[in-house]
Amino acid sequence: GKMLLAVLLALLLGPAGCPKTEPLSGSGQEPLFRGADRYDFAIVIPAGAVECFWQFAHQSGNFFFSYEVQRATGIGNSRNILATASDPNGFQLGISQEARGQINFLTKETGFYQLCLDNQQNHFGFMHVYLNFGVYYEGFDVENKQPEERKELNNTLEAIEVSIRKLQLHIFHMWRFYNFARMRKGSDSYLLESNYNYVNWWSMAQSCVIVLSGVLQLYFLKRLFNVQTSTRQKC
């Protein structure tokens, strides 16, 4: 019984003591699995809630995390939200507490990096947030990365390969700028819709007030004439 308990404790506590972990491939020739390198999507964070995501990254990567609050409800309609990024050991690498923000850093170790959005300050409304995060590597080649001095462009095929890698990197950054534009477009769309509804409701309220004030004025004028007529008859 004691031996079995010791084995179970070793299995549970053993991985926690490792400084970093890395997914293993089926054979030494196959590349390491790292899943998708980038994501962009929108999420609704309820009132008083915290949502977290984990992104796997290798060492010497460029990690990017950008967000924008497109819509907020509740008292005051504050669009500020707390965003944090932490390394695999839980050390905080960046923080942002605005309606939109970016957190960029170099990945110094391999593992899962944590991204969190905190809406705990807003107890009465949700937030609609657009996210764009991931990691990219110079040359998009992590497993077979070679020093620059060993790369000699001595033939046409190698020159074409380098040009394609550069083109891929430029396309990737164009994709990032495109997502920034999508963020702003979504935020502006929600703002226009909110202003449109506000103007409509305010115009309707003002129209009701004008009609009601006219009815009340007519009612009091009618009562005034009725009082004067009755007074003359008594005289």
User: What residue spans define the domains of the chain?
Assistant: 34-141+167-192
User: Cβ(124)–Cβ(132) under 8 Å?
Assistant: no
Q: Are strands 82-86 and 111-118 parallel, antiparallel or unpaired?
A: antiparallel
> Do 135 and 55 meet the contact criterion of CB atoms below 8 Å apart?
yes
Distance in angstroms (rounded) separating the CA atoms of residues 184 and 190: 10
Contact (Cβ atoms closer than 8 angstroms) between residue 106 and residue 61: yes
- According to the model, what pLDDT value does residue 9 have? 44
- What's residue 124's pLDDT? 86
Under 8 Å CB-to-CB from 43, ≥6 apart: which residues? 51, 117, 128, 129, 131
- Which candidate, 169, 87, 83, 95, places its Cα nearest to that of 131? 83
How confident is the model at residue 8, as a pLDDT? 44
User: Quick one: pLDDT at residue 13?
Assistant: 45
pLDDT along the chain (235 residues), means of 10: 46 42 42 64 91 92 91 81 94 92 92 94 88 81 48 61 73 74 72 75 84 83 70 55
Fold of 34-141+167-192: Jelly Rolls (2.60.120)
Strand order across the 38-45 sheet: 38-45, 127-136, 61-72, 100-107
pLDDT of residue 231: 55
First-to-final CA distance of the chain: 114
CA distance 213 to 228: 23
